[in-house]
Amino acid sequence: MDGDAKATGLELRSLIRKSGALELSLAKVAVPEPGPDQVVVQVQATPINPSDLGLLLGPADMSTATSSGSGAGIVVSAKVPAASLPFLAARLDQAMPVGNEGAGTVIAAGSAEAAQALRGKTVSMIGGAMYAQYRLIKASDCQELPAGTTPAEGASWFVNPLTALGMTETMRREGHKALVHTAAASNLGQMLNRICLEDGIGLVNIVRSAAQAKTLRDIGARHVCDSTSPSFVEDLTQALVDTGATIAFDAIGGGTLASQILTCMEMALNKSAAGYSRYGSSTHKQVYIYGSLNTAPTELVRAYGMAWSVGGWLLTPFLQKIGRAEQQRLRQRVVAGLKTTFASHYTRVVSLQEALQLDNIAAYAKRATGEKFLIDPSKA
C-alpha cells in the first residue's frame, strides 16, 4: 500500500444528534501517510469490551434500533432518552470513532528509526479509533508482539489485563490483603483468577449461576460464591473470613450487591472484633464499581458502620497515578503472558459491517458474561 495516497479504509462512527438520535455508520476515510515517527497499522483484531459500549451506544435504548442501507452503507439508528442528553453535551453532533484497543500489522512506516523498525511487524495498540481498517499511530504507542503471537491473541492486551492487574495493585496500595470480584466468570474474571493464583492473593469470586461457579472452579478458583444460592450470604461471609478481603471490584453496579458485600465484610470483621464499637468496625471497607452490567440504581443499605466507601474505578486514572515506569512493568508482564495468564477467548469474530448488524448489536449490548465479540476489520 506504500505510495498509494488514494487508498481508503472504513472506520466505524458513533453519532448522537441534538435531536436524541443515535446513528452508527461506517465512514470511508483516506488512509493517511505516516509522519516521521508514525506508522499505519492494518487493524486485524479489536475487541468489543463493555468499556467500548459507553461510547459506541451511549445511553441509547437499543430496543428502538432500526437499520437501513447495506454493506459498507449500513446505518443503524436508535433513540437516546431526552433525560440523558444534558450529560452528552460535549459529544452531540460529532461523529466519534470507537474502539479502545486492537492489534494488526504495520503496513507503512515513517522515516524515523523507531517507525522503520516496526515495518511488517504485528503490534498491539491502545488509544481509541480501533474499529477501523487502518489506524495511524505513533510508533512509540505501539507494542510489538513476540514472534508467533497473532493479532487475535494480542487484541485484548490492554483493557482487561491492566484492569485485572490494576485491581490487585489497588488492593495492595490501599492496604488490603485480599479482594472480591463480581461477574467473576468473565474473561477479565478468569484472568484475575490466574493472576491471584500466580501471586498468592486471596480472591473471592461472586458469580450469578452454578454454571459460572463451575467455570471458575475448573480453572482452580478457591473461593466462589453464587449469588443465586440460598446460602449466598453465609458463603460470602465465610469466604471473607477465610481470605480477609476488605476491598471489592464490582462490574455490576446496579442493585444491592455492592451493599451486600459491605454487609458481609462487616459481619466477617465483627466475628473477630474485640469489643463493641457504636460506629461499627473501624476497618475500612471499599467497593469500587468499575462496570455497569446492571444499569439500575445502586442501593446501599447502610448497616456497616461508617468506615466504608463505594466509588467509581477506572483504568486510566489508575495508570496515571502509578506513573510510566510502573505501567511499563505491568505491560511487560502482560505481553509475556498473552497466551497464558492474559489469554482472552471470543465467542464470535465479525467484520465491521457485521458489527453493525442488529442481531449482533443485540448480543453484545447485553453485556452477558461469557459472550465476547472480536471485530476483524480486515474481514470482508
From candidates 270, 327, 357, 378, binder to a second copy by CB under 8 A: 270
Q: Would you give the binding string for a second copy spanning residues 280-319, x where CB under 8 A is met?
A: x-x------xx-x--x-xxxxxxx-xxxxxxxxxx-xx--
C-beta closer to a second copy: residue 296 or 368:
296
Q: Would you give the binding string for a second copy spanning residues 95-114, x where CB under 8 A is met?
A: -x------------------
From candidates 67, 84, 150, 378, binder to a second copy by CB under 8 A: 84
Cell numbers of 56, please? 459506541
Does 190 contact a second copy by CB under 8 A? no
C-beta closer to a second copy: residue 38 or 292:
292
Please give the backbone phi and psi of residue 67, each rounded to the nearest 5 degrees, phi first: -130, 145
C-beta closer to a second copy: residue 52 or 376:
52
Distance from C-alpha of 330 to C-alpha of 327, rounded to nearest angstrom? 5
From candidates 279, 323, 324, 340, binder to a second copy by CB under 8 A: 279
Distance from C-alpha of 283 to C-alpha of 358, rounded to nearest angstrom? 48
Does 82 contact a second copy by CB under 8 A? no
From candidates 3, 86, 200, 323, binder to a second copy by CB under 8 A: 86
Q: Would you give the binding string for a second copy spanning residues 245-264, x where CB under 8 A is met?
A: --------xx----x-----
- Among the listed ranges 83-91, 143-151, 213-221, 358-366, the one in contact with a second copy (CB under 8 A) is 83-91
Does 1 contact a second copy by CB under 8 A? no
Q: Are 137 and 38 in contact (CB under 8 A)?
A: yes
Distance from C-alpha of 300 to C-alpha of 263, rounded to nearest angstrom? 10
Cβ 89 to a second copy, closest distance in Å? Answer: 6
- As a dihedral over the C-alpha atoms of residue 124, residue 372, residue 225, residue 251, rounded to 10 degrees, the angle is 70
Cβ 294 to a second copy, closest distance in Å? Answer: 10
Cell numbers of 283, please? 476497618
Which of 312, 321, 316 lies closest to 291, judged by CA?
312
Grid cell 484475575 is found at 192
Q: Would you give the binding string for a second copy spanning residues 316-355, x where CB under 8 A is met?
A: xx--------------------------------------
Does 47 contact a second copy by CB under 8 A? no
Distance from C-alpha of 334 to C-alpha of 376, rounded to nearest angstrom? 22
C-beta closer to a second copy: residue 196 or 248:
248
C-beta closer to a second copy: residue 56 or 221:
56
Does 175 contact a second copy by CB under 8 A? no
Cell numbers of 251, please? 462490574
**Residue 167 Cα distances to 59, 195, 250, 285, angstroms:** 27, 10, 11, 15
Please name the helix (run of DSSP H) or strand (run of DSSP E) that holds residue 308, with its range, or none.
strand 308-312
Q: Are 36 and 110 in contact (CB under 8 A)?
A: yes
Q: Kind of pairing, strands 21-30 and 134-138? A: unpaired
Please give the backbone phi and psi of residue 206, each rounded to the nearest 5 degrees, phi first: -105, 125
Does 2 contact a second copy by CB under 8 A? no
Q: Which amino acid is at 191?
A: M
How far does Cα 170 stand from its chain's mean position? 17
User: Using CB under 8 A as the criterion, which residues of the chain lie in contact with a second copy when the complex forms?
Assistant: 54-55, 84, 86-91, 94, 96, 253-254, 259, 266-267, 270, 273-280, 282, 289-290, 292, 295, 297-303, 305-314, 316-317
